[in-house]
Amino acid sequence: MTTSQYEFQGGYPTRESSQRAYGDADLNRAVEAYKFFYPTVSGVAMIKGNEPVGLVLNKVFGTLELKPVQLMYTGNSDTPYGPMDLDLSVGPLVIELQPGPLIVCSIDMNQRWVADMGLPGPDAGKGGKHLLVGPDYTGPLPESGYYIHRTSANLQIVGARSLPVNGDVAAAKARLTTIKVYPLDASVPWEEPVWKDLTDIPQDTTPLAWETNFQFWEQLKYAIDTQPPFAGYHNEYGALAALGIERGKPFTPDTRMRATLEEAARIGNAQMRVRSFDDDSPERIVWPDRKWEWASLRYEDGDFNTGVHLDLEAREKWFFQAIGASPAMFRRDTQAGSLYWLGHRDNAGTYLDGGAAYKLTVPLPVPGKLFWSVTVYDAETRSQVATDQNKAALRSLFELKDISGSNAELYFGPAAPAGKEDRWIRTIPGKGWFVYFRIYGPEAAAFDGSWKPGDFERVS
């Protein structure tokens, strides 16, 4: 919209110009609000998506060997998951970890980072007591014996990962159930939470059903009403109020505003998809002679803050294709627990096509102290590609554990190359796909350019 499309008479707007300006302002404001609050609505989807499979706040937690039947933004099957949804409105809660290879991260419903625990946390895998303290709590706190983490919301999404040492998945899942959660105040009514195995149970923890329609705004209103306001979102709450979304007040948009919000959801989603899969920032490139990109840029915190501003574009890219963020995930040094590279183009710069066949050459050994993997995702769902193969990853602890030689040649496409079935992932004709290349316990060569994987090459 240009100013030439607005008409004024004697310095005052005409009725038509006023209507057009209000409509344009509402749409622009709604598109920006959509992108900013997308992580919040995705956080709602995680909590609500856990309810149908039997998880209950503070009472029932899960163990999970992730499969393609479970929709989760760029989740992976490298390690078992332990989803724990917590409500701090009962008071501060203790998460007690035993020594061992656990990776635990707590985020709130807005997907703001709260704490790293276990291997990437202050206990460094040696065990310890972590105390989550909600925003409304004003009581006393212990002076010692706990790692204290202040939160900006009461609903906490705690994701635990247990490393399958020597490929022992059963032991890794059992290790998850050693995590203890209980109130700091022993007088708070509490029953020891139980653990439910969610493996092979279909599940959707994504906002896919809401992200391009009016339901997005309804779910956002739910989040605004159920969580204490976060002071850092003061301006953004003002934008929502202008759109009729305000804490504790009815949300009853008229026909025009409803249509505007629906259009904003479609536009905002399209803009995030472009940012996610056609990022033009030069910092995204890992190596100048490869097509691999950093899944996220480097940040000193888990909330995309640079020294002087919030990196909105990087935040949009990440949360369109992933969930959760922490400083440990963004670190680029040998103290990092893991690193992630995004691959979605072949060596010619063309998007990966589910109807074509590709080869990926990975030099051996891969510079990781623990293990590595390549996981395939559907570009539409941003979740593991779902086919009758029922797997989406090639992993050094499992499918590739006996591989030898100077290179690992991995294959992707609608049909397996003869004799390469154990190194192949099926893709779906008519659908785009991308991968995350992960290294756990990365070593120096993963960062200094002395080692790097090949690009995807089309093959017959």
Residue 56 CB contacts under 8 Å (≥ 6 apart), including other chains: 85
- Which of 201, 230, 319 minimizes the C-alpha distance to 269? 319
Query: What are the extents of the domains in the chain?
Result: 3-47+208-276, 60-200, 279-459
Report, at the CATH architecture level, how domain 279-459 is classified.
Answer: Sandwich (2.60)
First to last CA, the chain: 48
3-class secondary structure, 342: strand
Block residue for tokens 């990975």: 362
- Which of 155, 161, 150 minimizes the C-alpha distance to 114? 150
Q: How many CB atoms lie within 10 A of CB 127?
A: 14
Q: Is 279-459 in the same CATH topology as 3-47+208-276?
A: no
Region of 20 please: left (phi>0), alpha (psi -120 to 50) or beta: alpha
3-class secondary structure, 266: helix
Residue type, 112: R
Query: Exposed/middle/buried for 169, CB within 10 Å: 0-12, 13-18, 19+?
Result: middle
The CATH class that applies to domain 3-47+208-276 reads: mainly alpha
- List the pLDDT tens digit at each of the 460 positions of the chain: 455 677 888 888 888 888 888 889 999 999 999 999 999 999 999 999 999 999 999 999 999 999 999 999 999 999 999 999 999 999 999 999 999 999 999 999 999 999 999 998 999 999 999 999 999 999 999 999 999 999 999 999 999 999 999 899 999 999 999 999 999 999 999 999 999 999 999 999 999 999 999 999 999 999 999 999 999 999 999 999 999 999 999 999 999 999 999 999 999 999 999 999 999 888 899 999 999 999 877 776 889 998 889 999 999 999 999 999 888 777 777 766 788 999 999 999 999 999 999 999 999 999 999 899 999 999 999 999 999 999 999 999 999 999 999 999 999 999 999 999 999 999 999 999 999 999 998 999 999 999 999 999 999 8
Quote the CATH superfamily of domain 60-200: Domain of unknown function DUF1254 (2.60.40.1610)
